[in-house]
């Protein structure tokens, strides 16, 4: 029995780590009597004792290995957490540096600082690559499988990968393109644009656009549910930046696709340039009073004709078929009188009608219709010394609107003299643009601003080019479907027949809203229009004298409110009293309209309740607005319409 007593010898406890393991086959020695036999019962007892001792030894070994394993795993976990924390901290620094560098790169590209932009891109690529490297090792990837923690770890890795691919693949062709996008390179010289230079940058722009859209799709796919707030904000911010970038590259892609053929790279083109006069307001901007015919051929631009809407006269019946909705809203004047083709805010309709009237009267053929206004011209003149006009006048950014939309009527009482002045101004502007005397980054910024305000509109007779234009601000299309935010249109048509719209100032604002049980939103709007006109006796007759029956100096304006698609105009009030609305429909939108007669200093304030279509969920929505481009831009104040808690 000496072997059994050894469990407590030398101060060792049973199961101590230093205790030697006896082989299972060795039997513990017994007494001489036991070893001599003792019978079957005694042998069975010996076997049971040996089995019990073997079980105790195995249990001790399992306990020792379990403790070792747990300890080892704990150490590995602590090391892994420390490693993740270190790598995450390093990645955070690289990502923050990358964000600052992207902002710097954008500013340098806008300013045309190509050499500094190239250096910044190189630094950005290093920082982005380092951030991706810090979040792409085996420990980081393994942590992505850990519940809750893994979601955040994976989101950091996905964000770092997106920023790295942006820096390595999307931005280089853009920086390279920016180096060759000096506005002076593409400004007309001696009446010709370098079409070949435009064609050369097209592939780089398309590559950048493809990459940005691919990366954007990956970032949109990052699930932000359950992310830590700072990380969620970072992912949301990256999505917003990529949305902006995709918008810019998409626009550049369309431009490099459209401009070469439109400038005659594939053969001559003819354009009808329509000049809208917002002093007599129309839904797309203003009365289409004058036009010019422009021809392009292999980059060369020529002015080959001019005229007025009055030259086209009246037609006995609509030149193109009109829908019942169109005639109910606008009468058949939409299709019979050139000055009224843009009663509708949908520019493709107005352009088709004007083109048809021009072709019927003149026999000329055109490939596209382009519309603009004097406000856009003033934006283009920013940064220039101005353009000399016949008679010694200089057309500048600060006087173009006043001169072309107001002072001309005081100087010339004869309509023919007015038309001659407008024609001379149009020719001077064209010659300055085609000769490269107006251009540079200021002109590009001005053109962009004008396009954003819907003051430059383009419609092409060529289906493939019109498809490229679709969805851009240049298309002037009233959408038949709304995006995530409901679109509300507020448009104006003059009913005076004079030039009193020059003095109108207008605003629209969201003043409240609520959710209905059927998941539609009620949006409460306030539309304000006021007249800043001076006393009527101080105004020229052509400006102040309108339709028979109107008091001199009164501006009659028809205000059209377009509900969101599948929505409705529920009610309208003035000072809390119901205002009857005439109604109609255009392009899947209910239209409600009213007339405001405003004398000098008068103001119209109308409150409306607009209903949206059924919207998913109960999240707040912020309405978007599309308004008529007027002499003075609208003041638009939108606000989220929330369903509450």
DSSP string, 75-117: HHHHHHHHHHHHHHHHHHHHHHHHHHHHHHHHHHHHHT-HHHH
**Strand boundaries in 440-501, DSSP class E:** 457-460, 487-494
Confidence of residue 619 (pLDDT cuts 50, 70, 90): confident
**Positive or negative: CA dihedral 27, 33, 34, 40:** positive
Lowest mean pLDDT among 425-439, 490-504, 616-630: 425-439
Q: What local confidence, expressed as pLDDT, does residue 11 receive? A: 42
Lowest mean pLDDT among 8-12, 196-200, 246-250, 555-559: 8-12
Q: What local confidence, expressed as pLDDT, does residue 45 receive? A: 61
Q: What local confidence, expressed as pLDDT, does residue 415 receive? A: 83
Confidence of residue 459 (pLDDT cuts 50, 70, 90): very high
- On the question of pLDDT at 596 being above 50, the answer is yes
Q: What average pLDDT does the segment 84-96 reach?
A: 56
Confidence of residue 40 (pLDDT cuts 50, 70, 90): low
Could you give the CA distance from residue 240 to residue 525 in angstroms, rounded to a whole number?
28
**Positive or negative: CA dihedral 627, 633, 635, 637:** positive
Confidence of residue 234 (pLDDT cuts 50, 70, 90): confident
Confidence of residue 184 (pLDDT cuts 50, 70, 90): low
What is this structure's pTM? 0.80
Q: Does an H or E element contain 570, and which? A: strand 568-574
Confidence of residue 358 (pLDDT cuts 50, 70, 90): very high
Q: What local confidence, expressed as pLDDT, does residue 332 receive? A: 97
Place of tokens 């209903």: 611
Mean pLDDT over the full length of the chain = 84
- On the question of pLDDT at 84 being above 70, the answer is no
Residue 128: partners with Cβ closer than 8 Å, 6 or more residues away? 94, 98, 160, 163, 164, 166, 167, 168
Tens-place pLDDT, residues 156-180:
888 888 888 988 998 888 888 776 6
Tens-place pLDDT, residues 304-328:
999 999 999 999 999 999 999 999 9
What tokens does 343 get?
């009663």
Could you give the CA distance from residue 445 to residue 225 in angstroms, rounded to a whole number?
39
Lowest mean pLDDT among 104-113, 364-373, 498-507: 104-113
Could you give the CA distance from residue 108 to residue 117 in angstroms, rounded to a whole number?
6
Confidence of residue 50 (pLDDT cuts 50, 70, 90): low
DSSP 289: E
Q: What local confidence, expressed as pLDDT, does residue 281 receive? A: 98
- On the question of pLDDT at 416 being above 80, the answer is yes
Could you give the CA distance from residue 480 to residue 127 in angstroms, rounded to a whole number?
45
Lowest mean pLDDT among 72-81, 459-468, 579-588: 72-81
- On the question of pLDDT at 70 being above 60, the answer is no
Q: What local confidence, expressed as pLDDT, does residue 349 receive? A: 98
Q: What average pLDDT does the segment 120-126 reach?
A: 89
Could you give the CA distance from residue 177 to residue 171 in angstroms, rounded to a whole number?
10
Q: What average pLDDT does the segment 546-567 reach?
A: 93
Confidence of residue 9 (pLDDT cuts 50, 70, 90): very low
User: For residues 278 and 285, is the Cβ–Cβ distance under 8 A?
Assistant: yes
From residue 347, give the alpha-carbon distance in Å to each of 84, 231, 435, 475, 543.
Answer: 57, 43, 29, 7, 26
């Amino acid at each position: 029995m000496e072997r059994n007593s050894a469990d407590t010898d030398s101060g060792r406890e049973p199961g101590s780590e230093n205790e030697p393991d006896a082989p299972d086959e060795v039997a513990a020695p017994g007494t001489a009597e036991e070893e001599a036999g003792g019978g079957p019962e005694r042998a069975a007892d010996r076997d049971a004792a040996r089995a019990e001792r073997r079980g105790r030894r195995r249990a001790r070994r399992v306990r020792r290995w379990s403790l070792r394993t747990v300890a080892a795993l704990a150490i590995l976990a602590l090391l892994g957490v420390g490693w993740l924390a270190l790598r995450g901290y390093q990645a955070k620094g690289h990502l923050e540096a990358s964000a600052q560098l992207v902002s710097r790169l954008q500013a340098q590209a806008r300013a045309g600082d190509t050499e500094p932009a190239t250096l910044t891109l190189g630094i950005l690529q290093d920082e982005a690559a380092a951030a991706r490297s810090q979040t792409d090792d085996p420990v980081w990837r393994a942590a992505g499988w850990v519940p809750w923690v893994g979601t955040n770890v994976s989101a950091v890795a996905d964000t770092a990968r997106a920023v790295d691919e942006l820096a390595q693949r999307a931005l280089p062709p853009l920086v390279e393109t920016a180096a060759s996008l000096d506005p002076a390179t593409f400004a007309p010289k001696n009446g010709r644009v370098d079409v070949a230079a435009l064609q050369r940058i097209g592939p780089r722009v398309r590559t950048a656009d493809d990459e940005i859209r691919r990366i954007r799709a990956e970032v949109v796919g990052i699930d932000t549910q359950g992310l830590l707030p700072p990380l969620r904000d970072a992912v949301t911010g990256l999505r917003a930046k990529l949305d902006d970038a995709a918008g810019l590259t998409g626009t550049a892609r369309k431009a490099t696709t459209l401009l070469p053929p439109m400038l005659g790279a594939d053969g001559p083109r003819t354009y009808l340039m329509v000049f809208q006069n917002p002093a007599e307001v129309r839904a797309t901007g203003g009365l289409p009073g004058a036009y010019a015919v422009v021809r392009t051929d292999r980059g060369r631009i020529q002015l080959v004709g001019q005229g007025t809407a009055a030259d086209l006269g009246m037609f006995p019946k609509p030149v193109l078929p009109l829908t019942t909705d169109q005639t109910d809203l606008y009468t058949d004047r939409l299709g019979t009188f050139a000055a009224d083709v843009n009663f509708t805010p949908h520019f493709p309709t107005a352009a088709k009608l004007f083109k048809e009237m021009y072709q019927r009267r003149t026999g000329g053929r055109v490939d596209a219709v382009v519309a603009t206004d004097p406000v856009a011209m003033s934006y283009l003149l920013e940064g220039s010394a101005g353009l000399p006009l016949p008679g010694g006048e200089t057309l500048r950014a600060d006087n173009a609107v006043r001169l072309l939309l107001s002072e001309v009527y005081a100087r010339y009482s004869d309509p023919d003299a007015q038309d001659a002045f407008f024609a001379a101004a149009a020719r001077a502007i064209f010659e300055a643009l085609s000769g490269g005397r107006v251009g540079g980054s200021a002109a590009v910024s001005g053109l962009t601003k004008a396009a954003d305000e819907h003051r430059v509109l383009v419609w092409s007779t060529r289906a493939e080019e019109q498809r490229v234009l679709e969805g851009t601000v240049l298309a002037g299309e009233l959408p038949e479907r709304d995006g995530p935010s409901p679109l509300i249109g507020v448009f104006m048509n003059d009913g005076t027949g004079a030039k009193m719209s020059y003095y109108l100032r207008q605003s629209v604002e969201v003043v409240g809203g609520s959710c209905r049980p059927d998941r539609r939103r009620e949006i409460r709007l306030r539309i304000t229009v006021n007249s800043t006109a001076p006393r009527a006796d101080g105004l020229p007759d052509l400006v102040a004298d309108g339709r028979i029956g109107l008091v001199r100096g009164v501006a009659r304006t028809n205000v059209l409110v377009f509900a969101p698609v599948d929505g409705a105009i529920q009610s309208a009030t003035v000072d809390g009293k119901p205002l009857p609305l005439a109604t109609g429909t255009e392009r899947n939108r209910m239209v409600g309209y009213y007339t405001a007669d405003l004398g000098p200093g008068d103001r119209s304030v109308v409150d409306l309740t607009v209903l949206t279509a059924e919207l998913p969920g109960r999240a707040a929505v912020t309405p978007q607005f599309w308004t008529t481009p007027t002499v003075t831009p609208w003041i638009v104040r939108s606000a989220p319409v929330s369903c509450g808690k």
